[in-house]
Amino acid sequence: MKRKFLFVGGLPSELMGVLRFSAFGQVEELDEAQAADAARGGCVILPADDPAAEAFTGDELKQYGSFGALRRAPADFQAKVKQARIAAAAFAAEAEAAHQAQATDQQVAGVKRG
């Protein structure tokens, strides 16, 4: 199932062959598995309907969407950025936990040959 995700990273991120996040505040539709893999891989995204994502206004994102402008943004906007990144980290941690739960790490029997 596809959902919308908001990118809140500080430099471009890419899911090679799928899409590139090249601006802060970029919204893209991704399927859940793709989004989870992206988040585990360090792509700083969170569901667009997360309260930390909804805290940004359209005007703000327009004004500070470029990475250069983002660094010069006022303190109240920076505080929203920090909250959004904390939410993105939580989303990534959930994705990591789900991934780890799948891995059973089968080991070989201790066969010892030359």
The least distance separating other proteins from the CB of residue 69, rounded to whole angstroms, comes to: 13
Report how far residue 51's alpha carbon sits from residue 84's, in angstroms, rounded to the nearest whole number.
9
Regarding 74 and contact with other proteins (CB under 8 A), the answer is no
Binds other proteins (CB under 8 A): choice among 14, 29, 49, 94: 14
The least distance separating other proteins from the CB of residue 70, rounded to whole angstroms, comes to: 9
Phi-psi region of 17 (alpha: psi -120 to 50; beta: other; left: phi over 0): left
The least distance separating other proteins from the CB of residue 81, rounded to whole angstroms, comes to: 8
Regarding 51 and contact with other proteins (CB under 8 A), the answer is no
Regarding 12 and contact with other proteins (CB under 8 A), the answer is yes
DSSP state of 89: H
Report how far residue 9's alpha carbon sits from residue 110's, in angstroms, rounded to the nearest whole number.
45
Q: At what angle do helices 32-40 and 75-102 cross, to 10 degrees?
A: 110
Identity of residue 30: L
Binding interface with other proteins (CB under 8 A): 8-18, 34, 37-44, 67, 71, 81-83, 85-86, 88-89, 99, 102-114
